Structure 1
Amino acid sequence: MLVKKFVKLATFGLLAVSLMACASQIRQQSTRGEFQSVTEENAEEVYAQIDIWDLYEVCRALLTTEKYSQLDTCYNFLEQRANSEVFWVTMGYYYNDDMTQMVLHELQAEKYLGLGDLEKAIYHADLSLAAQARNPRMPSSSFLFADNDHNAKKMDAIALGVKIMALEYSDRDNEILPYLKRLEKRVESFNIDQSEYFSMTSRRWLAQYHYASGDYEKAYMYATRDDRDSLDFLGDGLLTAFTAPMSVAITGTTIDEFHFVRNLPLRIFSYRSAYKTGRLEEARKGFDDLLADGRIANFAKLHVSVLHDRAQLAMTEGDMNVAYDNLSKAIDVLESQRSALQTENYKLGFVGGKEQIYADMVGLLVDQNRVAEAFEYAERAKARALVDQLAERSSFKRPKATAASTNDVLRKVQQLEMESLQVASASGTGTQNRKLQLKALKTELRDQDAELSSLISVDAIKLSDIQLKLSPNEALLEYYQSGDAFFAFAITRNSIQVVDLNGKGLTEDIHAFRHAIQEEEGDAYLPKAQSLYQRLITPVIAQVDMPNVTIVPHGPLHYLPWAALHDGNGFLIESRSFRLLPSASVLMYLDKGNAKGARALLALGNPDLGNPDYDLPGAEIETKEITRKWPGSRVLLREFATEAVFKEAAPAFQYLHLASHGEFDAENPLTSGMKLAAGNGEDGLLTVDELYDLNLDAELVTLSACETGLGEVANGDDVIGLTRGFLYAGARSINASLWPVSDEATAYLMEQFYDNLKRDNKAEALRKAQRATAKRFNHPRFWAAFQLTGKV
């Protein structure tokens, strides 16, 4: 037996040498320079030169290095070839239709898990597992392996792992056990003939699951277990020789880095679970060794994750200087790229994600009484959320004077960012030069167009700059929440204070309050209104004791009807005039433009949406009544209230009034928008994404009628996208409702509001209109939905 094993290992070594020689030829034909950048234009030519099995490995390498846009292109070609070539032949294996489907769906399943689309991850994992079940063994003519279905087992392990993690993240724990047992069996069934590499695949998923579910001892066991009997042949020999050269050439990752990142998840889980199980010295040494290895800087998401892990360990040990240093480095990496580093929450079972990194930094600085810095990091967190939303946009329309130059700089920024992601060595001279060029271009863009710069990168705003924008009789109240951590920053022109609040159950309390206002009769809402006042306003009332308050919400607070908060004696609007901002930094951009030369009012009401169920006769009456009192106004109703006419005419008007339905999607905020009539090349939905291409010069945009605010309490990103879109397009203020309001009450409130605008600023005009409406329609459901965002 021992002799047979020795002979077999010797055979492995001989074949490895042969394959490495072959791989050397492949590398000569497929240099990094030739395959460094695969675009839509050259992808067909590049991928046509690759054996279909190598193409699969390229796709997997792109998945491993999380280059998702390139992965989609690679996958499309892989799928086309797999469906047309009938079967694949590689190293004596052939793939029939079932095995092909297993491979294709396994790739898709892991991709969607990484992107956080859990339903699609489960869907593709199920299809991959079903294909494996239909054809559990892979026929082979290969003499090399005693067990010929090891590749199928590896892919089966990936599909099982994806299914388990997607169920775990979806809170479907009761469905996990059968898949968990199958995956555990995979680990036990592997032997030296099949290489530790395949066992490592299963152990990675088991470690990830047990870490995410809180069983840190089991996570540690699977992450640190070593199944190797003598050598990791397939992991470091055959894989390197046969598939790695082509893969790394196209992904821009060296072979050394390719193996480094392939083994990285298990290393990270071993150190994390060591930390969680009290093996602090082992965890500290592991994290420090990883961070000292320059290769990790090539993989931004993993780099950020390890920096955060090290910071949390330092906080546990009370070393706040080390914690601050690692958190600041993690945030710098996050903010160095325009693209959203959004997948770490799923890719490594990470608790929290990038939002938690900012939250930890804000909490640490508050604890150290470094209040100004804590506020500035809270603002950076909000800026990152907006940049993430807009990360896919390749251009932004601007006034003619600056459009060409700013978009030229933006294109250069995007090109350098893409090159930086494709270049392997983060410590190399080429990459360092790119970083310097990128920094210079972003500075140039900020100088040319500060607001555009704020949409594509996180530009740090100083507290002192915000304070200069506040009036002497104004206080700014900014909230920041992440989980149970909850802070309120109270800022005036000359001071800043922070109050530590309790965020536990806040989303549920806001939801209950909104439900009580909209659905329940009588004063059922009042205890909730008073409770939220005590929770949100009372702790900071001394710091914001001014007649004018600017409120900067965060997360679920964007959905809160602030006007209806009650102190026990009266509503908030009875004592103060207030406005909202999506972030304090928006103050820097509200004074742009001059609408004095614009025409008065453009109003679109009750557009014809092709379905009588969507008709809003009350909105039509409201629109006619408002425009009747504004000379020089233009009113567009029914089939004339089109998206195309609005885009064409809106830039010429000082006030814009849209009385229609809204369509809001918290999962994809940029597709949310206002429903108008279709025609002339427009589909009738004025989306948030389209707002960033408008060029308005409006003092006020009013969004009135059904669902122009938001229905369900979510994370607030949809509100940020909508309000920021109108502000960026050139509106100084937005007046929008949080829920559908009756036709009669809305018409009355709007009539009062526009009358008041002739004498008062916008915030005071709305406050007076709401108070007048409350006298006629007592319940806050009729008047509390409307709130002003932007300039007063």
Structure 2
Amino acid sequence: QLTGISLSGDQKQKPADLEKELDKLQTEFDEIENQIRAGSPRYAALTGAQPLTLAETQQKVLDDGTVLLEYSLGNDTSYAFAVTQSGVSLFKLPPRSNIDKLATDFRAQLIPPKLQRRIVGIDVVAEQQRGLGLVEGPSENLTAFVASSNALYRAAVEPASNSFGDKRLLVVADGALNYIPFEALVRSTDGADYASLSYLIKSNEIVYAPSASVVAAIRQSGNKPSGKNLLAVADPIFSSDDSRVKGKAGVPAPAEARGLGLGLESAVNDVAGEPTAAGGLRLARLVGTRVEAEEIGKIAKSNGSQADLWIDLNASEDNLRSRDVTNYRIIHVATHGLLDAERPQFTGVVLSLVGNKDNDGFLRTDEIFNLRLGAPLVMLSACETGLGKEKRGEGVIGLTRAFMYAGAPTVGVSLWSVADKSTADLMADFYRRLLGPASSNSASVAMRAAQLGLISGKKYSAPFYWAPFVIVGDWR
């Protein structure tokens, strides 16, 4: 059984000793995970599903308007498989090292330099933004962006382009392709500004999956969003100094005062590259997420849906784990996301660190696996929630897979730290399109339309603003 570790003022251990203990716990964790995989058919179906045959993929996963584009990157040669309902094509691509470099170069052009190393939604100053005190926008070097985007498109997508035309793409990525939005790849180098570029999103709807087998397993489970209820969880309280807490009696101490669990501290330290000073971890309040949640609530109610908002102390891990959330069609979580790619079980979203009686406020991947959500669309409007550690044969492990196991057939996640204002605008437009009168839009259709809206609106036309959000899972 795994044992917890916490760090508090009167408990000092050398970093080397903590790392040794952590490695030991990691080994125990892996052993337990293997036992779970062997004992839980549903977990095995989502994390290590038996590959479908070509015929099964065509019958159980694809439709007339969808093409599966699956990658297999190799040391000497890579391949892309384009599968339709009636056939399959195989395309030879450059080696893994070439593709990974092109993808890394492309990602570097998408994201401001300030965010390229420290890729976790932690802010050490009181900037009201989702990210690391995000004060700069995207690269102004349009030429460099176009060159990197088109180079990756020509290497990884163009060879198969005749196979899919303008159909929906179901992308099963490999290697560094897991960390980039195909929507922002450009077909040509033409275009005078960000809005006029020939993005792939302009011609194709794009959804992602860990594998075709996972999509089939989701459908086989019969889980589908139903009803009209929406839950938005936003603007948690991260500090007892927060003005929303002062004067309230009987509020339990925040996790930071009790000593952060090693999971949260490890997630921060691994990304920051250095230990956090005692008492030095401060999460900035995300006021924009409150505005975002309230606007989404208004949109939902104006379209006949029931909207519940959990904000402030109610945006808590205690509530999410103990209250009945099985009747929601949509669960929207807007807060800081923490990525620990080395130890994916320490990846999670940070809810209220104040006021919890039974939990620490850091909802980790392993805890999400144990949630029971019904079958909602889960939207994670947080930092880099789509990333995770790549495990060969299992795709990218992260919050996406965890929420799918908990019941969500479709998950919306982000691939890098996102700017608050543009995200609020994007999400509001997304929900208008998803929940609008007589709307039959799926999440992927609504997201594509909202992203195209930002592009044409010019102000947030750079992919940095609109492209981090991707839809994973069943698009129907």
TM-score (norm 1): 0.43
SS of equivalent residue, structure 1 residue 650: coil
SS of equivalent residue, structure 2 residue 325: helix
Partner of 2:332: 657
- Give the Cα–Cα distance (whole angstroms) in 2 for the partners of residues 389 and 542 of structure 1: 45
* 1:476 is aligned to 2:68: yes
Aligned pairs for 1:345-494 within 5 A: 392-393=32-33, 410=39, 449=41, 451-454=42-45, 459-468=50-59, 469-494=61-86
Q: Report the Cα offset of residue 551 of structure 1.
A: 0.6
Aligned pairs for 1:52-201 within 5 A: none
- Give the Cα–Cα distance (whole angstroms) in 2 for the partners of residues 391 and 573 of structure 1: 42
Partner of 2:250: none
The one-letter amino acid paired with 1:466 is T
- Give the Cα–Cα distance (whole angstroms) in 1 for the partners of residues 147 and 225 of structure 2: 45
- Give the Cα–Cα distance (whole angstroms) in 2 for the partners of residues 391 and 544 of structure 1: 42
- Give the Cα–Cα distance (whole angstroms) in 2 for the partners of residues 480 and 391 of structure 1: 28
Partner of 2:262: none
Instruction: Flag the 1:612–1:390 CA change in 2: closer, same or farther, 3 A.
Output: closer
Q: Report the Cα offset of residue 657 of structure 1.
A: 0.5
SS of equivalent residue, structure 2 residue 73: strand
Structure 1 residues 2-28: Cα deviation after superposition (integer angstroms, max 9, x where no partner): xxxxxxxxxxxxxxxxxxxxxxxxxxx
- Give the Cα–Cα distance (whole angstroms) in 2 for the partners of residues 682 and 454 of structure 1: 29
- Give the Cα–Cα distance (whole angstroms) in 1 for the partners of residues 101 and 108 of structure 2: 10
Report which structure shows greater RCO (CA 8 Å, sep ≥6).
2
Q: Report the Cα offset of residue 706 of structure 1.
A: 2.9
- Give the Cα–Cα distance (whole angstroms) in 1 for the partners of residues 140 and 338 of structure 2: 27
Tell me, yes or no, if the aligned pair for 1:564 and 1:784 is still in contact at 8 Å. Answer: yes
Tell me, yes or no, if the aligned pair for 2:317 and 2:352 is still in contact at 8 Å. Answer: yes
SS of equivalent residue, structure 1 residue 666: coil
- Structure 1 residue aligned with 2:316, among 642, 648, 651? 642
* 1:684 is aligned to 2:361: yes
Find the structure with the greater CA-based Rg.
Answer: 1
- Give the Cα–Cα distance (whole angstroms) in 2 for the partners of residues 735 and 493 of structure 1: 26
Structure 1 residues 116-135: Cα deviation after superposition (integer angstroms, max 9, x where no partner): xxx969x9xxxxxxxxxxxx
Tell me, yes or no, if the aligned pair for 1:656 and 1:698 is still in contact at 8 Å. Answer: no
The one-letter amino acid paired with 1:642 is S
Q: Report the Cα offset of residue 484 of structure 1.
A: 4.2
Partner of 1:516: 109
- Structure 2 residue aligned with 1:604, among 220, 233, 258? 233
Partner of 2:205: 577
Tell me, yes or no, if the aligned pair for 1:556 and 1:715 is still in contact at 8 Å. Answer: no
Partner of 1:628: 298
- Structure 1 residue aligned with 2:184, among 550, 564, 568? 564
- Give the Cα–Cα distance (whole angstroms) in 2 for the partners of residues 598 and 644 of structure 1: 25
Q: Report the Cα offset of residue 390 of structure 1.
A: 6.2
SS of equivalent residue, structure 1 residue 464: helix
- Give the Cα–Cα distance (whole angstroms) in 1 for the partners of residues 291 and 362 of structure 2: 22
- Structure 2 residue aligned with 1:745, among 408, 412, 422? 422
- Give the Cα–Cα distance (whole angstroms) in 1 for the partners of residues 447 and 226 of structure 2: 24
Tell me, yes or no, if the aligned pair for 2:400 and 2:472 is still in contact at 8 Å. Answer: yes
Q: Report the Cα offset of residue 705 of structure 1.
A: 3.1
Tell me, yes or no, if the aligned pair for 1:643 and 1:684 is still in contact at 8 Å. Answer: yes
Tell me, yes or no, if the aligned pair for 2:289 and 2:424 is still in contact at 8 Å. Answer: yes
Instruction: Flag the 1:457–1:490 CA change in 2: closer, same or farther, 3 A.
Output: closer
- Structure 2 residue aligned with 1:733, among 410, 419, 441? 410
SS of equivalent residue, structure 1 residue 658: strand
SS of equivalent residue, structure 1 residue 764: helix
Instruction: Flag the 1:597–1:540 CA change in 2: closer, same or farther, 3 A.
Output: closer
- Give the Cα–Cα distance (whole angstroms) in 1 for the partners of residues 152 and 408 of structure 2: 31
Partner of 1:545: 165
- Give the Cα–Cα distance (whole angstroms) in 1 for the partners of residues 47 and 368 of structure 2: 16
* 1:772 is aligned to 2:453: yes
- Give the Cα–Cα distance (whole angstroms) in 1 for the partners of residues 183 and 444 of structure 2: 12
- Give the Cα–Cα distance (whole angstroms) in 1 for the partners of residues 346 and 49 of structure 2: 23
Tell me, yes or no, if the aligned pair for 1:689 and 1:725 is still in contact at 8 Å. Answer: yes
SS of equivalent residue, structure 1 residue 539: helix
TM-score (norm 2): 0.70
Structure 1 residues 209-247: Cα deviation after superposition (integer angstroms, max 9, x where no partner): xxxxxxxxxxxxxxxxxxxxxxxxxxxxxxxxxxxxxxx
Structure 2, unaligned runs of 5 or more: 3-15, 113-138, 191-197, 240-280
The one-letter amino acid paired with 2:229 is A
Q: Percent identity?
A: 31
Structure 1 residues 35-90: Cα deviation after superposition (integer angstroms, max 9, x where no partner): xxxxx9xxxxxxxxxxxxxxxxxxxxxxxxxxxx9xxxxxxxxxxxxxxxxxxxxx
- Give the Cα–Cα distance (whole angstroms) in 2 for the partners of residues 553 and 596 of structure 1: 26
Instruction: Flag the 1:721–1:741 CA change in 2: closer, same or farther, 3 A.
Output: closer
Q: Report the Cα offset of residue 594 of structure 1.
A: 4.8
Tell me, yes or no, if the aligned pair for 1:533 and 1:565 is still in contact at 8 Å. Answer: yes
- Give the Cα–Cα distance (whole angstroms) in 2 for the partners of residues 498 and 548 of structure 1: 18
Q: Report the Cα offset of residue 593 of structure 1.
A: 3.9
SS of equivalent residue, structure 2 residue 171: strand
Q: Report the Cα offset of residue 505 of structure 1.
A: 2.9
- Give the Cα–Cα distance (whole angstroms) in 2 for the partners of residues 787 and 745 of structure 1: 15
Instruction: Flag the 1:528–1:460 CA change in 2: closer, same or farther, 3 A.
Output: closer
Tell me, yes or no, if the aligned pair for 2:45 and 2:214 is still in contact at 8 Å. Answer: no
SS of equivalent residue, structure 1 residue 557: helix
The one-letter amino acid paired with 1:607 is P
Q: Report the Cα offset of residue 459 of structure 1.
A: 2.8
- Give the Cα–Cα distance (whole angstroms) in 2 for the partners of residues 458 and 657 of structure 1: 28
Structure 1 residues 637-668: Cα deviation after superposition (integer angstroms, max 9, x where no partner): 12210012122243221101010111111111
Q: Report the Cα offset of residue 609 of structure 1.
A: 1.8
Instruction: Flag the 1:596–1:461 CA change in 2: closer, same or farther, 3 A.
Output: closer
Tell me, yes or no, if the aligned pair for 1:661 and 1:708 is still in contact at 8 Å. Answer: no
Partner of 1:419: none
Structure 1 residues 649-695: Cα deviation after superposition (integer angstroms, max 9, x where no partner): 43221101010111111111122111111412111111111222122
Instruction: Flag the 1:586–1:715 CA change in 2: closer, same or farther, 3 A.
Output: closer
SS of equivalent residue, structure 1 residue 504: helix
Tell me, yes or no, if the aligned pair for 1:555 and 1:715 is still in contact at 8 Å. Answer: no
Bigger proportion of residues as strand: 2
* 1:614 is aligned to 2:233: no
- Give the Cα–Cα distance (whole angstroms) in 2 for the partners of residues 542 and 550 of structure 1: 15
- Structure 1 residue aligned with 2:98, among 499, 505, 515? 505
- Give the Cα–Cα distance (whole angstroms) in 1 for the partners of residues 62 and 472 of structure 2: 15
Aligned pairs for 1:280-319 within 5 A: none
SS of equivalent residue, structure 1 residue 525: helix
The one-letter amino acid paired with 2:32 is E
Structure 1 residues 124-163: Cα deviation after superposition (integer angstroms, max 9, x where no partner): xxxxxxxxxxxxxxxxxxxxxxxxxxxxxxxxxxxxxxxx
- Give the Cα–Cα distance (whole angstroms) in 1 for the partners of residues 401 and 160 of structure 2: 27
Q: Report the Cα offset of residue 480 of structure 1.
A: 1.1
Structure 1 residues 743-785: Cα deviation after superposition (integer angstroms, max 9, x where no partner): 1111111011111113211111111100101122121111011
Q: Report the Cα offset of residue 598 of structure 1.
A: 4.8
SS of equivalent residue, structure 1 residue 606: strand
Partner of 2:473: 790
Partner of 1:527: 147
The one-letter amino acid paired with 1:643 is E
Q: Report the Cα offset of residue 622 of structure 1.
A: 0.7
- Give the Cα–Cα distance (whole angstroms) in 2 for the partners of residues 394 and 484 of structure 1: 31
Tell me, yes or no, if the aligned pair for 1:661 and 1:707 is still in contact at 8 Å. Answer: no
Q: Report the Cα offset of residue 511 of structure 1.
A: 2.0
Tell me, yes or no, if the aligned pair for 1:470 and 1:492 is still in contact at 8 Å. Answer: yes
Instruction: Flag the 1:718–1:475 CA change in 2: closer, same or farther, 3 A.
Output: closer
Q: Report the Cα offset of residue 393 of structure 1.
A: 2.8
SS of equivalent residue, structure 1 residue 630: helix
- Give the Cα–Cα distance (whole angstroms) in 1 for the partners of residues 157 and 29 of structure 2: 30
